[in-house]
Structure 1
Amino acid sequence: MANAVFIQNPDSIYSDLPGLRYNFPSTYVNMVRETVGDWVVFYESKQGAFGYVSAQKVVDLVDDPKRKGWYFAELDPSTLLQFETPVPRVDKQGQTYERRLMGADGRPYSGGLNTSAVRRISPKEFAAIVEAGLAETEGPDALPRSPVVGFAEVQAPYGDAPLAAGRVRLLSDRAYRDAAFARMVKAAYGGVCAISGLSLRNGGGRAEVQAAHIRPVGDSGPDIVPNGLALSGTLHWMFDRGLISVAEDHSILVSHNKVDLATVDRLLHPSRKLILPRSRRDHPHPDYLRYHREEVFGRAA
Protein backbone atom coordinates (compact mmCIF):
# COMPACT_ATOMS: atom_id res chain seq x y z
CA MET A 1 0.00 0.00 0.00
CA ALA A 2 1.10 3.58 -0.57
CA ASN A 3 -0.08 7.18 -0.40
CA ALA A 4 -0.39 9.31 -3.51
CA VAL A 5 -1.73 12.58 -4.89
CA PHE A 6 -4.53 12.44 -7.48
CA ILE A 7 -5.12 15.52 -9.65
CA GLN A 8 -8.85 16.17 -10.08
CA ASN A 9 -10.44 19.46 -11.13
CA PRO A 10 -14.08 20.54 -10.59
CA ASP A 11 -14.72 20.69 -14.35
CA SER A 12 -12.98 17.41 -15.14
CA ILE A 13 -13.19 16.21 -18.75
CA TYR A 14 -12.87 12.63 -17.54
CA SER A 15 -15.52 10.23 -16.22
CA ASP A 16 -14.83 11.15 -12.61
CA LEU A 17 -17.45 11.31 -9.90
CA PRO A 18 -16.07 13.02 -6.79
CA GLY A 19 -16.36 10.74 -3.82
CA LEU A 20 -16.98 7.56 -5.83
CA ARG A 21 -14.45 7.08 -8.62
CA TYR A 22 -11.33 8.54 -10.24
CA ASN A 23 -10.73 8.06 -13.97
CA PHE A 24 -7.16 7.77 -15.29
CA PRO A 25 -5.12 6.34 -18.21
CA SER A 26 -2.91 3.22 -18.18
CA THR A 27 0.19 5.40 -17.65
CA TYR A 28 -0.57 5.46 -13.93
CA VAL A 29 -2.11 2.03 -13.41
CA ASN A 30 0.81 0.50 -11.46
CA MET A 31 1.08 3.54 -9.21
CA VAL A 32 -2.67 3.61 -8.51
CA ARG A 33 -2.67 -0.14 -7.83
CA GLU A 34 -0.23 0.50 -4.99
CA THR A 35 -2.74 2.84 -3.31
CA VAL A 36 -5.56 0.27 -3.06
CA GLY A 37 -6.39 -0.07 0.63
CA ASP A 38 -4.61 3.17 1.51
CA TRP A 39 -5.30 6.91 1.52
CA VAL A 40 -4.71 9.47 -1.22
CA VAL A 41 -4.91 13.27 -1.35
CA PHE A 42 -6.75 15.12 -4.11
CA TYR A 43 -5.21 18.22 -5.67
CA GLU A 44 -6.88 20.85 -7.86
CA SER A 45 -4.79 22.86 -10.34
CA LYS A 46 -5.32 26.48 -11.39
CA GLN A 47 -8.65 25.43 -12.92
CA GLY A 48 -9.84 24.69 -9.38
CA ALA A 49 -8.71 25.67 -5.89
CA PHE A 50 -4.99 25.43 -6.78
CA GLY A 51 -4.17 23.26 -3.80
CA TYR A 52 -4.78 20.00 -1.92
CA VAL A 53 -8.52 19.80 -1.23
CA SER A 54 -9.43 16.43 0.31
CA ALA A 55 -8.32 12.98 1.43
CA GLN A 56 -9.94 9.61 0.72
CA LYS A 57 -9.32 5.88 0.78
CA VAL A 58 -8.94 3.83 -2.43
CA VAL A 59 -10.68 0.44 -2.29
CA ASP A 60 -10.33 -1.05 -5.78
CA LEU A 61 -9.03 -0.62 -9.32
CA VAL A 62 -11.25 -1.60 -12.27
CA ASP A 63 -11.28 -1.22 -16.05
CA ASP A 64 -13.18 1.66 -17.64
CA PRO A 65 -15.80 -0.28 -19.65
CA LYS A 66 -16.29 2.58 -22.11
CA ARG A 67 -12.67 3.49 -22.85
CA LYS A 68 -9.91 1.02 -23.69
CA GLY A 69 -6.68 1.59 -21.79
CA TRP A 70 -8.38 3.62 -19.07
CA TYR A 71 -9.25 2.67 -15.51
CA PHE A 72 -11.18 3.71 -12.43
CA ALA A 73 -9.86 3.97 -8.91
CA GLU A 74 -12.92 3.01 -6.86
CA LEU A 75 -13.14 5.16 -3.72
CA ASP A 76 -14.74 4.54 -0.33
CA PRO A 77 -17.33 7.36 -0.12
CA SER A 78 -17.60 7.02 3.65
CA THR A 79 -13.95 8.09 4.01
CA LEU A 80 -13.90 11.22 1.82
CA LEU A 81 -13.27 14.38 3.81
CA GLN A 82 -12.93 17.76 2.15
CA PHE A 83 -10.36 20.09 3.69
CA GLU A 84 -11.97 23.21 5.12
CA THR A 85 -9.34 25.38 3.45
CA PRO A 86 -7.40 24.23 0.35
CA VAL A 87 -3.76 23.57 1.21
CA PRO A 88 -1.28 25.32 -1.16
CA ARG A 89 1.58 23.25 -2.50
CA VAL A 90 4.05 25.34 -0.47
CA ASP A 91 4.04 25.42 3.34
CA LYS A 92 4.65 28.43 5.61
CA GLN A 93 8.41 27.89 5.39
CA GLY A 94 8.31 28.07 1.59
CA GLN A 95 8.92 24.32 1.22
CA THR A 96 6.79 22.18 -1.07
CA TYR A 97 4.81 19.51 0.74
CA GLU A 98 5.90 17.13 -2.04
CA ARG A 99 9.66 17.39 -1.79
CA ARG A 100 10.19 16.11 -5.34
CA LEU A 101 8.45 19.23 -6.66
CA MET A 102 11.19 21.50 -5.31
CA GLY A 103 14.01 22.57 -7.58
CA ALA A 104 17.71 22.67 -6.77
CA ASP A 105 17.38 26.37 -5.92
CA GLY A 106 14.89 25.56 -3.16
CA ARG A 107 11.94 26.95 -5.08
CA PRO A 108 8.95 25.00 -6.45
CA TYR A 109 9.07 24.38 -10.16
CA SER A 110 6.41 24.05 -12.85
CA GLY A 111 6.16 21.34 -15.47
CA GLY A 112 7.60 17.84 -15.33
CA LEU A 113 6.40 15.75 -12.39
CA ASN A 114 4.28 18.69 -11.26
CA THR A 115 1.86 18.02 -14.15
CA SER A 116 1.49 14.27 -13.52
CA ALA A 117 -2.08 13.21 -12.77
CA VAL A 118 -0.90 10.75 -10.11
CA ARG A 119 2.17 11.17 -7.89
CA ARG A 120 3.52 9.00 -5.08
CA ILE A 121 4.07 10.71 -1.73
CA SER A 122 5.69 9.48 1.46
CA PRO A 123 3.68 8.85 4.66
CA LYS A 124 5.38 11.91 6.14
CA GLU A 125 4.30 14.12 3.22
CA PHE A 126 0.77 12.72 3.42
CA ALA A 127 0.64 13.47 7.16
CA ALA A 128 1.89 17.03 6.68
CA ILE A 129 -0.72 17.79 4.00
CA VAL A 130 -3.55 16.35 6.10
CA GLU A 131 -2.26 18.23 9.17
CA ALA A 132 -2.62 21.50 7.25
CA GLY A 133 -5.95 20.46 5.73
CA LEU A 134 -7.53 19.75 9.11
CA ALA A 135 -7.07 23.32 10.35
CA GLU A 136 -10.49 24.67 11.28
CA THR A 137 -12.08 27.68 9.66
CA GLU A 138 -12.85 30.54 12.00
CA GLY A 139 -15.78 32.94 12.14
CA PRO A 140 -19.47 32.93 13.08
CA ASP A 141 -20.20 29.72 11.14
CA ALA A 142 -17.42 27.72 12.78
CA LEU A 143 -18.27 24.99 15.26
CA PRO A 144 -16.23 23.75 18.21
CA ARG A 145 -14.18 20.66 17.48
CA SER A 146 -14.99 17.55 19.45
CA PRO A 147 -11.93 16.00 21.11
CA VAL A 148 -10.77 12.74 19.57
CA VAL A 149 -9.16 10.19 21.84
CA GLY A 150 -5.67 9.27 20.73
CA PHE A 151 -5.24 12.24 18.38
CA ALA A 152 -1.88 13.96 18.64
CA GLU A 153 -1.73 17.65 19.45
CA VAL A 154 -1.18 19.89 16.44
CA GLN A 155 2.26 21.05 17.58
CA ALA A 156 3.53 17.60 18.55
CA PRO A 157 6.71 16.50 16.77
CA TYR A 158 6.07 13.65 14.40
CA GLY A 159 7.60 10.65 12.71
CA ASP A 160 6.08 9.02 9.68
CA ALA A 161 3.83 6.31 11.07
CA PRO A 162 2.41 7.71 14.36
CA LEU A 163 1.16 10.99 12.93
CA ALA A 164 -0.21 9.37 9.80
CA ALA A 165 -2.13 6.86 11.92
CA GLY A 166 -3.50 9.62 14.14
CA ARG A 167 -4.70 11.61 11.17
CA VAL A 168 -6.39 8.55 9.68
CA ARG A 169 -8.27 8.03 12.95
CA LEU A 170 -9.45 11.62 12.87
CA LEU A 171 -10.40 11.45 9.18
CA SER A 172 -12.59 8.46 10.02
CA ASP A 173 -14.25 9.96 13.11
CA ARG A 174 -17.95 10.61 12.43
CA ALA A 175 -18.32 13.40 15.01
CA TYR A 176 -15.39 15.32 13.53
CA ARG A 177 -16.58 14.73 9.96
CA ASP A 178 -20.09 15.99 10.73
CA ALA A 179 -18.74 19.16 12.37
CA ALA A 180 -16.29 19.86 9.54
CA PHE A 181 -18.97 19.22 6.89
CA ALA A 182 -21.35 21.60 8.66
CA ARG A 183 -18.73 24.36 8.82
CA MET A 184 -17.84 24.05 5.16
CA VAL A 185 -21.44 24.00 3.89
CA LYS A 186 -22.47 26.95 6.06
CA ALA A 187 -19.44 28.93 4.92
CA ALA A 188 -20.04 28.10 1.24
CA TYR A 189 -23.64 29.33 1.42
CA GLY A 190 -22.81 32.28 3.65
CA GLY A 191 -25.25 31.07 6.31
CA VAL A 192 -28.16 31.50 3.87
CA CYS A 193 -30.78 28.78 3.44
CA ALA A 194 -30.46 27.57 -0.16
CA ILE A 195 -34.22 27.05 -0.56
CA SER A 196 -35.88 29.81 1.49
CA GLY A 197 -33.20 32.47 1.06
CA LEU A 198 -33.42 33.35 4.75
CA SER A 199 -30.34 34.11 6.83
CA LEU A 200 -31.17 33.70 10.50
CA ARG A 201 -28.54 34.27 13.19
CA ASN A 202 -28.58 33.52 16.88
CA GLY A 203 -27.54 35.97 19.57
CA GLY A 204 -23.89 35.15 19.00
CA GLY A 205 -24.13 35.79 15.28
CA ARG A 206 -23.94 32.11 14.34
CA ALA A 207 -26.03 30.94 11.37
CA GLU A 208 -29.07 28.86 12.26
CA VAL A 209 -29.03 26.91 8.98
CA GLN A 210 -28.06 23.26 9.02
CA ALA A 211 -25.91 21.27 6.62
CA ALA A 212 -27.92 18.66 4.71
CA HIS A 213 -26.38 15.82 2.72
CA ILE A 214 -27.94 15.55 -0.75
CA ARG A 215 -27.00 11.90 -1.16
CA PRO A 216 -27.36 10.56 2.40
CA VAL A 217 -24.32 9.27 4.27
CA GLY A 218 -26.16 5.97 4.69
CA ASP A 219 -26.34 5.69 0.89
CA SER A 220 -22.62 6.35 0.36
CA GLY A 221 -22.95 10.13 0.24
CA PRO A 222 -19.57 11.84 0.81
CA ASP A 223 -18.80 14.71 3.20
CA ILE A 224 -18.05 17.35 0.55
CA VAL A 225 -19.72 20.68 -0.16
CA PRO A 226 -20.98 19.56 -3.64
CA ASN A 227 -22.99 16.92 -1.74
CA GLY A 228 -24.41 19.48 0.69
CA LEU A 229 -27.06 22.16 1.02
CA ALA A 230 -27.46 24.80 3.73
CA LEU A 231 -31.08 24.49 4.86
CA SER A 232 -33.26 25.73 7.69
CA GLY A 233 -34.34 23.07 10.16
CA THR A 234 -37.82 22.58 8.67
CA LEU A 235 -36.58 22.44 5.08
CA HIS A 236 -33.77 20.08 6.09
CA TRP A 237 -36.40 17.74 7.57
CA MET A 238 -38.53 17.98 4.41
CA PHE A 239 -35.53 17.42 2.11
CA ASP A 240 -34.33 14.33 4.01
CA ARG A 241 -37.82 12.84 3.85
CA GLY A 242 -38.27 13.40 0.14
CA LEU A 243 -40.98 16.04 0.40
CA ILE A 244 -38.87 18.46 -1.64
CA SER A 245 -35.99 18.07 -4.06
CA VAL A 246 -34.03 19.99 -6.71
CA ALA A 247 -34.43 19.67 -10.48
CA GLU A 248 -31.62 19.65 -13.02
CA ASP A 249 -32.12 23.38 -13.63
CA HIS A 250 -32.02 23.99 -9.84
CA SER A 251 -35.74 24.69 -9.57
CA ILE A 252 -37.36 23.37 -6.38
CA LEU A 253 -39.53 20.28 -6.72
CA VAL A 254 -42.37 19.75 -4.25
CA SER A 255 -44.35 16.59 -3.54
CA HIS A 256 -47.72 18.35 -3.73
CA ASN A 257 -49.70 15.30 -2.60
CA LYS A 258 -47.86 15.60 0.73
CA VAL A 259 -47.16 19.34 1.03
CA ASP A 260 -49.96 21.89 0.70
CA LEU A 261 -49.57 25.02 -1.41
CA ALA A 262 -49.81 27.39 1.57
CA THR A 263 -46.81 25.72 3.19
CA VAL A 264 -44.86 26.00 -0.05
CA ASP A 265 -45.61 29.72 -0.29
CA ARG A 266 -44.37 30.30 3.25
CA LEU A 267 -41.17 28.28 3.05
CA LEU A 268 -39.79 28.66 -0.48
CA HIS A 269 -37.96 31.62 -1.99
CA PRO A 270 -40.21 33.48 -4.48
CA SER A 271 -37.93 32.42 -7.36
CA ARG A 272 -38.63 28.75 -6.55
CA LYS A 273 -34.99 28.08 -7.45
CA LEU A 274 -31.98 26.99 -5.44
CA ILE A 275 -29.77 29.81 -4.15
CA LEU A 276 -26.25 28.75 -5.10
CA PRO A 277 -22.87 29.44 -3.46
CA ARG A 278 -20.69 32.11 -5.01
CA SER A 279 -17.97 29.65 -5.94
CA ARG A 280 -18.87 27.28 -8.73
CA ARG A 281 -16.72 24.54 -7.21
CA ASP A 282 -19.17 24.49 -4.26
CA HIS A 283 -22.29 24.07 -6.41
CA PRO A 284 -24.29 20.86 -5.89
CA HIS A 285 -23.01 18.09 -8.12
CA PRO A 286 -25.65 17.04 -10.72
CA ASP A 287 -25.16 13.33 -9.95
CA TYR A 288 -25.96 13.82 -6.26
CA LEU A 289 -29.04 15.89 -7.09
CA ARG A 290 -30.13 13.19 -9.54
CA TYR A 291 -29.71 10.55 -6.84
CA HIS A 292 -31.90 12.51 -4.46
CA ARG A 293 -34.63 12.95 -7.09
CA GLU A 294 -34.60 9.28 -8.06
CA GLU A 295 -34.01 7.58 -4.71
CA VAL A 296 -35.35 9.96 -2.04
CA PHE A 297 -37.87 12.44 -3.50
CA GLY A 298 -41.48 11.37 -3.12
CA ARG A 299 -40.64 8.00 -1.59
CA ALA A 300 -41.14 8.76 2.10
CA ALA A 301 -44.16 10.02 3.96
Structure 2
Amino acid sequence: NGPDGLVERGLLNDQGRISGRAQSAVRQISPGDFNRIIDLGLDTSELLLPRLDEVGTSTGFQDEQAPFEFEQSRDRVNYIGSRIVRDRIFRRIVLRAYDERCAITGLKLINGGGRAEVSAAHIRPVEANGPDVINNGIALSGTAHWMFDRGLISLSDDLEILISRQVNDLDSVQAFINRTRRVLPPRRQFDRPHPCFLQWHRDHCFKQ
Protein backbone atom coordinates (compact mmCIF):
# COMPACT_ATOMS: atom_id res chain seq x y z
CA ASN A 1 0.00 0.00 0.00
CA GLY A 2 1.07 3.57 -0.72
CA PRO A 3 -0.22 6.93 0.47
CA ASP A 4 -2.91 6.80 -2.23
CA GLY A 5 -4.02 3.27 -1.45
CA LEU A 6 -3.08 0.01 -3.10
CA VAL A 7 -0.15 0.55 -5.48
CA GLU A 8 -0.58 -2.70 -7.38
CA ARG A 9 -4.04 -1.86 -8.66
CA GLY A 10 -4.12 -4.82 -10.95
CA LEU A 11 -5.06 -6.89 -7.90
CA LEU A 12 -8.42 -5.15 -7.60
CA ASN A 13 -11.50 -6.63 -9.18
CA ASP A 14 -14.23 -4.61 -10.90
CA GLN A 15 -15.86 -3.67 -7.58
CA GLY A 16 -12.60 -2.34 -6.12
CA ARG A 17 -12.05 -5.32 -3.86
CA ILE A 18 -8.82 -7.34 -3.70
CA SER A 19 -9.12 -10.27 -6.04
CA GLY A 20 -7.96 -13.80 -5.44
CA ARG A 21 -4.86 -13.17 -7.56
CA ALA A 22 -3.30 -11.43 -4.58
CA GLN A 23 -2.57 -14.84 -3.09
CA SER A 24 -0.36 -15.82 -6.02
CA ALA A 25 3.36 -15.83 -5.27
CA VAL A 26 4.21 -15.04 -8.92
CA ARG A 27 1.92 -12.93 -11.05
CA GLN A 28 2.05 -10.53 -13.97
CA ILE A 29 2.22 -6.82 -13.27
CA SER A 30 0.89 -4.10 -15.52
CA PRO A 31 3.13 -1.28 -16.81
CA GLY A 32 1.08 1.21 -14.84
CA ASP A 33 1.58 -0.66 -11.56
CA PHE A 34 5.27 -1.07 -12.31
CA ASN A 35 5.76 2.65 -12.93
CA ARG A 36 3.92 3.56 -9.74
CA ILE A 37 6.17 1.25 -7.70
CA ILE A 38 9.31 2.72 -9.28
CA ASP A 39 8.12 6.29 -8.62
CA LEU A 40 7.52 5.48 -4.96
CA GLY A 41 10.91 3.80 -4.60
CA LEU A 42 12.87 6.60 -6.28
CA ASP A 43 12.34 10.06 -4.89
CA THR A 44 12.79 12.26 -7.94
CA SER A 45 12.22 15.47 -6.01
CA GLU A 46 15.76 15.52 -4.55
CA LEU A 47 18.26 17.49 -6.63
CA LEU A 48 21.40 15.78 -7.89
CA LEU A 49 23.49 18.90 -7.11
CA PRO A 50 22.84 21.55 -4.43
CA ARG A 51 21.64 25.00 -5.39
CA LEU A 52 24.04 27.91 -5.03
CA ASP A 53 21.99 29.61 -2.33
CA GLU A 54 21.85 26.38 -0.31
CA VAL A 55 25.64 26.07 -0.28
CA GLY A 56 26.36 29.70 0.47
CA THR A 57 29.40 30.04 -1.77
CA SER A 58 29.94 31.53 -5.17
CA THR A 59 31.30 28.30 -6.64
CA GLY A 60 28.55 26.03 -5.39
CA PHE A 61 31.01 23.67 -3.72
CA GLN A 62 32.64 23.93 -0.31
CA ASP A 63 35.23 21.17 -0.61
CA GLU A 64 38.54 21.81 -2.30
CA GLN A 65 39.51 19.70 -5.27
CA ALA A 66 41.34 16.56 -4.20
CA PRO A 67 44.96 16.36 -5.44
CA PHE A 68 45.60 14.09 -8.40
CA GLU A 69 47.02 10.73 -7.36
CA PHE A 70 49.91 9.36 -9.40
CA GLU A 71 50.29 6.24 -7.28
CA GLN A 72 47.88 4.14 -5.30
CA SER A 73 48.79 1.75 -2.55
CA ARG A 74 46.89 -1.53 -2.62
CA ASP A 75 46.33 -4.22 -0.07
CA ARG A 76 48.03 -7.54 -0.67
CA VAL A 77 46.35 -10.79 0.27
CA ASN A 78 47.76 -14.30 0.50
CA TYR A 79 45.94 -17.18 -1.15
CA ILE A 80 46.51 -20.86 -1.79
CA GLY A 81 45.93 -22.05 -5.33
CA SER A 82 46.60 -25.02 -7.55
CA ARG A 83 47.77 -25.34 -11.13
CA ILE A 84 48.63 -28.12 -13.50
CA VAL A 85 52.31 -29.06 -13.42
CA ARG A 86 54.00 -28.42 -16.74
CA ASP A 87 57.24 -29.95 -17.97
CA ARG A 88 59.92 -27.23 -17.94
CA ILE A 89 61.80 -29.02 -20.71
CA PHE A 90 58.82 -28.70 -23.07
CA ARG A 91 59.50 -25.06 -23.98
CA ARG A 92 63.17 -25.74 -24.54
CA ILE A 93 62.72 -28.65 -26.91
CA VAL A 94 59.90 -26.98 -28.88
CA LEU A 95 61.81 -23.74 -29.40
CA ARG A 96 64.92 -25.68 -30.35
CA ALA A 97 62.98 -27.73 -32.90
CA TYR A 98 61.59 -24.59 -34.57
CA ASP A 99 64.86 -22.65 -34.32
CA GLU A 100 63.15 -20.17 -31.97
CA ARG A 101 61.03 -18.96 -34.91
CA CYS A 102 57.25 -18.49 -34.96
CA ALA A 103 55.86 -21.26 -37.17
CA ILE A 104 52.94 -19.08 -38.33
CA THR A 105 54.56 -15.72 -39.03
CA GLY A 106 58.16 -16.82 -39.62
CA LEU A 107 59.45 -14.12 -37.27
CA LYS A 108 62.48 -14.81 -35.12
CA LEU A 109 62.72 -12.09 -32.50
CA ILE A 110 65.28 -12.11 -29.69
CA ASN A 111 65.00 -9.62 -26.84
CA GLY A 112 67.89 -7.69 -25.29
CA GLY A 113 68.50 -10.47 -22.81
CA GLY A 114 68.99 -13.06 -25.52
CA ARG A 115 65.61 -14.71 -24.91
CA ALA A 116 63.41 -15.66 -27.86
CA GLU A 117 60.12 -13.74 -28.01
CA VAL A 118 58.21 -16.85 -28.92
CA SER A 119 56.37 -19.40 -26.79
CA ALA A 120 55.91 -23.15 -26.91
CA ALA A 121 52.19 -23.64 -27.55
CA HIS A 122 50.37 -26.88 -26.91
CA ILE A 123 48.24 -28.08 -29.82
CA ARG A 124 46.05 -30.10 -27.48
CA PRO A 125 46.14 -27.89 -24.37
CA VAL A 126 47.28 -28.97 -20.95
CA GLU A 127 43.77 -28.34 -19.59
CA ALA A 128 42.51 -31.01 -22.00
CA ASN A 129 45.19 -33.49 -20.88
CA GLY A 130 47.53 -32.63 -23.72
CA PRO A 131 51.00 -34.16 -23.14
CA ASP A 132 54.28 -32.24 -22.93
CA VAL A 133 55.77 -33.91 -25.99
CA ILE A 134 57.42 -32.33 -29.00
CA ASN A 135 54.70 -33.58 -31.38
CA ASN A 136 52.06 -31.72 -29.35
CA GLY A 137 53.98 -28.46 -29.47
CA ILE A 138 54.47 -25.62 -31.87
CA ALA A 139 56.48 -22.41 -31.55
CA LEU A 140 54.21 -19.34 -31.80
CA SER A 141 54.57 -15.62 -31.26
CA GLY A 142 52.18 -13.88 -28.88
CA THR A 143 49.43 -12.91 -31.34
CA ALA A 144 49.63 -16.20 -33.23
CA HIS A 145 49.44 -18.10 -29.93
CA TRP A 146 46.37 -16.10 -28.88
CA MET A 147 44.62 -16.78 -32.21
CA PHE A 148 45.54 -20.47 -32.13
CA ASP A 149 44.23 -20.99 -28.60
CA ARG A 150 40.94 -19.26 -29.47
CA GLY A 151 40.41 -21.25 -32.63
CA LEU A 152 40.81 -18.40 -35.11
CA ILE A 153 43.55 -20.33 -36.86
CA SER A 154 44.30 -24.03 -37.03
CA LEU A 155 46.37 -26.50 -39.07
CA SER A 156 45.61 -29.26 -41.51
CA ASP A 157 47.44 -32.56 -41.31
CA ASP A 158 49.86 -31.37 -43.99
CA LEU A 159 50.45 -28.16 -41.96
CA GLU A 160 48.40 -25.79 -44.11
CA ILE A 161 47.32 -22.76 -42.03
CA LEU A 162 43.52 -22.67 -41.74
CA ILE A 163 41.79 -19.36 -41.03
CA SER A 164 38.40 -19.30 -39.34
CA ARG A 165 35.47 -17.67 -41.11
CA GLN A 166 34.79 -15.85 -37.84
CA VAL A 167 37.92 -13.71 -38.26
CA ASN A 168 36.73 -10.10 -38.54
CA ASP A 169 39.78 -8.80 -40.45
CA LEU A 170 40.73 -11.46 -42.97
CA ASP A 171 43.12 -9.30 -44.98
CA SER A 172 45.21 -8.45 -41.93
CA VAL A 173 45.38 -12.08 -40.81
CA GLN A 174 46.44 -13.22 -44.29
CA ALA A 175 49.16 -10.57 -44.26
CA PHE A 176 50.14 -11.69 -40.76
CA ILE A 177 50.94 -15.30 -41.64
CA ASN A 178 53.99 -16.22 -43.71
CA ARG A 179 53.82 -16.22 -47.50
CA THR A 180 53.83 -19.99 -47.90
CA ARG A 181 50.46 -20.21 -46.05
CA ARG A 182 51.88 -23.28 -44.33
CA VAL A 183 53.54 -23.81 -40.98
CA LEU A 184 57.31 -23.48 -41.10
CA PRO A 185 58.07 -27.04 -39.97
CA PRO A 186 60.75 -28.25 -37.58
CA ARG A 187 64.06 -29.15 -39.06
CA ARG A 188 63.64 -32.82 -38.14
CA GLN A 189 60.74 -34.77 -39.62
CA PHE A 190 59.91 -36.67 -36.42
CA ASP A 191 59.50 -33.38 -34.51
CA ARG A 192 56.53 -32.31 -36.65
CA PRO A 193 53.07 -31.99 -35.06
CA HIS A 194 51.23 -35.29 -34.86
CA PRO A 195 48.03 -35.55 -36.95
CA CYS A 196 46.18 -36.84 -33.87
CA PHE A 197 46.77 -33.59 -32.00
CA LEU A 198 46.02 -31.48 -35.07
CA GLN A 199 42.72 -33.30 -35.52
CA TRP A 200 41.84 -32.65 -31.88
CA HIS A 201 42.49 -28.93 -32.31
CA ARG A 202 40.30 -28.75 -35.42
CA ASP A 203 37.49 -30.66 -33.72
CA HIS A 204 37.52 -28.90 -30.34
CA CYS A 205 39.08 -25.45 -30.84
CA PHE A 206 38.88 -24.32 -34.44
CA LYS A 207 35.92 -22.09 -35.26
CA GLN A 208 34.93 -23.31 -38.71
User: For this structure pair, what is the TM-score category when the shorter chain's length is used for normalisation?
Assistant: 0.5 to 0.7
Tell me if the contact between 1:229 and 1:284 (Cα under 8 Å) persists in the aligned partners.
yes
Two-structure CA RMSD over aligned residues (Å): 1.8
Specify the alignment match of 1:183 in structure 2. Answer: 92
Q: Equivalent of 2:202, from 264, 270, 293?
A: 293
Kindly name which structure, 1 or 2, has the bigger radius of gyration based on alpha carbons.
2
CA shift in 2, pair 1:203/1:250, >3 Å: same
Specify the alignment match of 2:130 in structure 1. Answer: 221
Q: Which amino acid counterpart does residue 266 of structure 1 have in structure 2?
A: A
Residues in 1 aligned to 2:91 and 2:172: alpha-carbon distance in whole angstroms: 26
Sequence identity (%)? 51
Deviation track 1:142-166 (CA, whole Å, cap 9, x = no partner) reads: xxxxxxxxxxxxxxxxxxxxxxxxx
CA shift in 2, pair 1:210/1:259, >3 Å: farther
Deviation track 1:59-82 (CA, whole Å, cap 9, x = no partner) reads: xxxxxxxxxxxxxxxxxxxxxxxx
Q: Give the number of the structure with larger relative contact order, counting CA–CA contacts within 8 Å between residues 6 or more apart.
A: 2
Residues in 1 aligned to 2:197 and 2:110: alpha-carbon distance in whole angstroms: 28
Tell me if the contact between 1:243 and 1:259 (Cα under 8 Å) persists in the aligned partners.
no
Q: Equivalent of 2:185, from 276, 288, 292?
A: 276
1:232 is the counterpart of 2:150: no
User: Cα offset for 1:263?
Assistant: 2.0
3-state SS, counterpart of residue 211 of structure 1: strand
- State the TM-score, normalizing by the size of structure 1: 0.40
Residues in 1 aligned to 2:174 and 2:164: alpha-carbon distance in whole angstroms: 14
Q: Equivalent of 1:207, from 103, 111, 116?
A: 116
User: Cα offset for 1:267?
Assistant: 1.5
User: Cα offset for 1:280?
Assistant: 1.1
Tell me if the contact between 2:166 and 2:207 (Cα under 8 Å) persists in the aligned partners.
no
Tell me if the contact between 1:228 and 1:284 (Cα under 8 Å) persists in the aligned partners.
yes
Tell me if the contact between 2:152 and 2:166 (Cα under 8 Å) persists in the aligned partners.
no
Deviation track 1:229-283 (CA, whole Å, cap 9, x = no partner) reads: 0000011011001110001221100113224222213320011101100111110
- State the TM-score, normalizing by the size of structure 2: 0.57
Residues in 2 aligned to 1:194 and 1:211: alpha-carbon distance in whole angstroms: 10
Residues in 1 aligned to 2:151 and 2:176: alpha-carbon distance in whole angstroms: 15
Deviation track 1:168-217 (CA, whole Å, cap 9, x = no partner) reads: xxxxx815x1x321111111101010111110110122211101000111
Q: Which amino acid counterpart does residue 210 of structure 1 have in structure 2?
A: S
Specify the alignment match of 1:174 in structure 2. Answer: 85
3-state SS, counterpart of residue 276 of structure 1: coil
More strand by share: 1
The unaligned stretches of length 5 or more in structure 1 are 1-172
Tell me if the contact between 1:185 and 1:211 (Cα under 8 Å) persists in the aligned partners.
yes
3-state SS, counterpart of residue 229 of structure 1: strand
3-state SS, counterpart of residue 174 of structure 1: coil
Deviation track 1:15-55 (CA, whole Å, cap 9, x = no partner) reads: xxxxxxxxxxxxxxxxxxxxxxxxxxxxxxxxxxxxxxxxx
Residues in 2 aligned to 1:245 and 1:270: alpha-carbon distance in whole angstroms: 16
